[in-house]
Amino acid sequence: MIKITELQKYYRTEEVETVALNSLSIDVQKGEFVAVMGPSGCGKSTLLNIIGLLDDLDEGSYKFNDIEVAKFNERKRSDLRKHNIGFVFQSFNLIDELTVFENVELPLIYTKVPAAERKKRVEEVLEKVQIMHRRNHFPQQLSGGQQQRVAVARAVVNNPKLILADEPTGNLDSNNGNEVMQLLTELNDQGTTIVMVTHSEHDARYSDRIIRMLDGQVVMTTVG
Amino acid sequence: MLKNYIKIAWRNIWKTKGFSTINILGLAVGMTACFLIALYVNFERSYDRYHSKADRIYRLVCDIKTPTETINANITSGPMAMYAAKDLPEIENFARLLPNSLLIRKDNIKYQESKLFFADSTLFQLFDFPMVAGNPATALKEPFSVVLSESAAKKYFGKEDPMGKSLLLTDDSFNSKVTGVIKDIPENSQFKGDVFVSMVTLIKMANFKFDEQWGNFGFTSYVLTKPNTDPSLLTTKFPAFLTSRVGKEMDQMKMHYSLFLEPLKEVYLYSKRGGFESGNINNVYIFAIVALFILLIACINFINLSTARAIERAKEVGIRKVVGAYRMQITRQFISESVLICLLAFIISLLLCLVLIPYFNYLAGKEISGGIFFHPIYIIILFLLACLIGLLAGIYPALVLSSFKPVTVLKGKFSSNAKGLLLRKTLVIVQFVVSIALIAGTLIVHRQLGYMRNQNLGFNKEQMLVLQTNGDAKSRILKDAVASVPGVLSNSVSGAVPGGENPVAYSEIENKQGDMQIANLPVYFVDYNYIPLYKIKLVAGRIFSPDFGTDTAQAMILNESAVKLFGYSKPEDAIGKKYSQWGSEGKIIGVIKDFHFKSLQSKIEPLSMRYGQGNGGGLVSIKIEGQHINAALQAIERKWHDIIPNRPFEYFFADEFFDRQYRAENRFGGLFLNFAVLAIFISCLGLFGLVSYNTTQRYREIGIRKVLGASVSTIVQLLSIDFLQLVCISILVASPLMWFFMSKWLADFAYHIDISWWIFAIAGSIAVGIALVVITSLTIKAAMENPVKSLRSE
């Protein structure tokens, strides 16, 4: 599903050029659950952002479902993103001004799903993450675990083929963290590909494969 | 999608109540100011445009040139329009008006009608004054025919049908007949008569053969040209016309007439000759510019606050982009949000207009609008304007917000860029330039008004009551009778008082070379007591005195300006010289010091005084002791009713009467002040928003500085200095601009203040002071905050 070869990514300031990712190549198969690990600053989040088309790559090739997407313009990136990719962040990133229901509904609005259909699908997914009873609450009225469940619901409501999770349990206690990991595993079982960046060996064990990075390069790949 | 936009917009407005209030209130106030000024500008421009033949109607005006001066009169003599219409085929019709003030009575109802005109029967053929009753073609044909406005008809006849009924004109009780009733003349008309008396009445009433007296000015004449007539071509025919009709007379009198045409629609705003009512196109422009500026300030606030707050919305933009929003969709979202805010402002603005229109009418001194619902088109325009402002003000923030890279903002690495900051600073400077300019303008206008009010006018007008008998034959008897009223110190009867109307007489005065020099001299007919009563200073010769029998018919007093006009370097030299004026011949017996008998807008003109008891005006001036004014006034009123029972009691105080000449300037000053306050208010709202935003942004910096030992005062200084610098730059930009414009405004006054540097210093200090209050109130709070709080949040 994802084929990245010889990826180079630099961060430039006026005086210094830092190499964030260096000749990095990875493959992710459809239906795989991959964890990316490594110390802070090794480039794992940058990699995730590039996979999610939130960031550009400087050199190399990125094929998504065998289509070269590295040179996509913003509109094409948006299109690809909204139909194929769901995101889960460490800090949940819910819109504070929208209710639980409205937050989850948002991706469906941008993919122009009719209102009745939206309602049905949002309710289904809220049931699935067991947050239906909180559908009219605002994010600040929820616990961290609940917020992350909403974020997961939002990531999956469009039935994406790929979920990118950036330290999804980083802001959660272990109970809530386990619940979220359980959710991701279930999604993976249903066929969704998952790429997850994590610091936690415990979380990484849920995955099929662990990619370990150091200084912008893949140093080891192990089976989870 | 739209629903989602509106929902989130509304929640955002609600969540940030402070910012939203600033935004919405600022815009609403700006729009209201704009709306009101638009009403004013439109009203001023609408004068006399409603007549269906307005495009073909011109006011005929005359320049009168004597060997020493040229008078640009707004009036003509009686024959001018009439013979022009006869001789020149381009003129289809004409109508003349002669303003007057007559006593009108019906049974016990009596009024001194000052909105009265003698008018040609053609009046209603030129002008569209709809007739409620009577025949417009014949209503003013016969002598002693009277056409009333509906209000006047109601005043005299109540619910009775006035047609064919009788009204008594003047104290001599000429019997007149009501032959027509017209709808009240609209406010936006250069003449607003309540009573029109047929012109031919003048022949019967006063044996005034106005159609033959070429030298007798006083008529406001309008001509209706035939379709497709070129007015400038017509004007070129006037000299030949005048020569053929009145050439000899002009040569004899050494006076030369020139006629000109002024388009009816331009008389009110553009004519420099004045008229029954005149506006000022410059004031209209000034207010239009002020309105645009106020709206600009409000829009700037909007842009500034929205872009500054952009960072707070960055996360939302990031998330929306992550879940698939296109940049265009985000742009659209923020524009709809900004339009929504503008529409809220629009609604508030409508409410404000509703409340403020009566006050605005009062400020402007005229019924500009009966209320907001009289202007549906304006409401639609304002609505569209609101949408447009929303669009324009929303575009920049929308583009900035939608350009955020999701990965950057979600990582929290985003900070405002230098370009945005520079833009915001520039906009703040623009706002304060406008505000400071308006403050300086207000100060200058008010100082000029104060200067005019407090200037030594050369005569005493304090505690001077003036009875207006309108030329009643018994005005002298009244004057003698009130002398015995307790509290009356002294009194006098005259034809004119300072600040009022006075006749201008064709005069010949012996000049330094011994020639009889021709001049049109204003003339005051006064009694023996007038000069001492008004404390006008005598500089040479003597005043009128009963000791000299010849003073009543053969004596004249001139002012210093007149003496100079005739070539005398010393006032004494004019004493004993000959004069001839309006059939009277005699000698100059005295010279008085120049005094301001007109407003300070004009230079003191040459003036002549002759002995006469109330000719023309019949004004009784009475000096009253301060503490007795009320009692004296009551006693005087009783005397009035005893002596001239037919006339309603009319009086004024000389000081108020004189100051009435500055009504237009007072209004101008009042409006200016109000709009300056508005501008500074909106600017401060914007500053408040920006400073509070900036302070929040530097929350962490403040924390670190405090940990490192910074005091509250150094932090306040740190946060304030940037903004104060902007205000200071604004002062530097605004001062020369305002100096330039206000010098032009002041140039219209013959006597005016000099614009000193300290006016700008004061205007600047006011701006800095207000800005300082806004800034420190916010920064002190931030500086007092416990640093642990701000650092922990990182």
- Collapsing DSSP states into helix, strand and coil, what is residue B286? helix
Contact yes or no for B323 and A107 at CB 8 A: yes
Q: What six digits make up the tokens of A192?
A: 């969704």
- Give contacts of A 52-71 with B, CB under 8 A: 52, 54-55
Beta-strand runs (E) in A29-79: 33-37, 59-64, 67-68
pLDDT for B432 equals 84
Query: What's the rounded Cα separation, in Å, for the pair B779 and B705?
Result: 14
- State pLDDT tens for residues B325-341: 888 888 888 888 888 88
Three-class SS of residue B459?
A: coil
Report yes or no: B691 and B755 within 8 Å, Cβ to Cβ: no
Instruction: Answer whether A87 sits within 8 Å of B323, measured CB to CB.
Output: yes
CB contact under 8 A, B322 and A94: no
Buried/exposed A108-143: b ≥16 CB within 10 Å, e otherwise: bbbeebeeeebeebbeebbebbebbebbeebbeebe
How far apart (Å, rounded) are the C-alpha atoms in residues B187 and A40?
79
Shortest Cα distance, chain A CAs vs residue B332, angstroms: 13
User: Which pLDDT score, from 0 to 100, does residue B791 have?
Assistant: 64
Interface of A with B in 5-44 (CB under 8 A): none
CB-based contact A111 B324, cutoff 8 Å: yes
Whether B407 and A107 lie within 8 Å, measured CB to CB: no
CB contact under 8 A, B320 and A106: yes
**Structure-model confidence comparison of residues B407 and A141, the more confident one:** A141
Residues of chain B where predicted confidence (pLDDT) is lower than 50? 793-794
- Chain B positions touching A122 (Cβ under 8 A) are none
Q: Which residues of A touch B411 (CB under 8 A)?
A: 45
Q: d(Cα B753, Cα B746) in Å, to the nearest integer? A: 8
CB nearest to B407's CB, from A55, A91, A111? A55
Minimal CA separation from A154 to chain B, in Å = 9
Q: What residue ranges do the domains of chain B occupy? A: 1-46+278-415, 54-270
Nearest CB among A45, A82, A97 relative to B323 is that of: A82
Beta strands in A110-151 (DSSP E): none
Which amino acid appears at position B204 of this protein? K
pLDDT tens track for B485-518: 999 999 999 999 999 888 888 899 999 999 999 8
Residue of B nearest to A96 (CA): B316
Model pLDDT, residue B422: 80
Question: Are the C-beta atoms of B245 and B79 separated by less than 8 Å?
Answer: yes
Q: Sorting pLDDT into bands at 50, 70 and 90, what band is A176?
A: confident
DSSP helix/strand/coil, A131: coil
Q: How far is residue A39's CA from residue A212's CA, in Å, rounded to a whole number?
A: 9
Residues of A in contact with B406 (CB under 8 A): 54
Distance separating alpha carbons of residues B484 and B664, to the nearest angstrom:
39
Mean pLDDT rounded to a whole number for chain A: 90
CB contact under 8 A, A81 and B324: yes
Residues paired with B488 in a beta bridge: B624
What ranges do the domains of chain A cover?
2-223
Q: For residue B142, which phi and psi values (nearest 5 degrees)?
A: -90, 150
Buried b (16+ CB within 10 A) or exposed e, B637-663: eebbeebbeebebebbbbbebbbebbe
* Cβ pair B407:A54 closer than 8 A: yes
Residue ranges of A 72-91 with Cβ closer than 8 A to chain B: 74-75, 78-79, 81-83, 87, 89, 91
B323 vs A49, A74, A106: nearest CB: A106
Q: Is A139 on the interface with B (CB under 8 A)?
A: no
C-alpha dihedral sign at B340, B342, B347, B348: positive
Given the candidates 3.40.50.2300, 3.40.50.620, 3.40.50.300, 1.10.3720.10, the CATH classification of the domain at A2-223 is 3.40.50.300
Give the C-alpha distances (Å, rounded to integers) separating A87 from A151, A163, A179, B780: 8, 6, 17, 42
Q: Does A110 touch chain B (CB under 8 A)?
A: yes
Can you name the residues that pair with B312 across neighbouring β-strands? none
Question: Residue A110 is nearest to which of B7, B318, B323, comparing CB atoms?
Answer: B323
Backbone φ, ψ for residue B630 (5° rounding): -65, -45
The nearest CA of chain A is from the CA of B320 a distance in Å of 8
CB nearest A75 (choices: B320, B326, B411): B326
Q: Is B175 helix (H, G, I), strand (E, B) or coil?
A: strand
What pLDDT is recorded for position B794? 39
Q: Which two tokens stand for residue B236?
A: 């070129």
For residue B314, the distance in angstroms to the closest alpha carbon of chain A comes to 11
Which candidate from B327, B329, B407 shows the least CB-CB separation from A110?
A: B329
Q: How confident is the model at residue A110 (pLDDT cuts 50, 70, 90)?
A: confident
Dist CA B258 CA B80 (whole Å): 11
pLDDT of residue B550: 92
User: Cβ B322–A102 below 8 Å, yes or no?
Assistant: no
Q: Is the pTM of this model over 0.80?
A: no
Are residues B591 and B540 in contact, defined by beta-carbon separation less than 8 angstroms? yes
* pLDDT score recorded for residue B546: 93
pLDDT at B793 (0 to 100): 47
**B chain contacts of residue A48, beta-carbon cutoff 8 Å:** none
Q: Which of A91, A94, A97 sits opposite B15 (nearest CB)?
A: A97
Residues of chain A with Cβ-Cβ distance to B405 below 8 Å are 54-55
d(CA B640, CA B593): 34
Q: How far apart are CA A132 and CA A124, in angstroms?
A: 9
Q: What's the whole-number mean pLDDT along residues A45-51?
A: 90
ipTM tops 0.90: no
Query: How many Å lie between the alpha carbon of B25 and the closest alpha carbon of chain A?
Result: 23
Give the pLDDT score at B412: 59
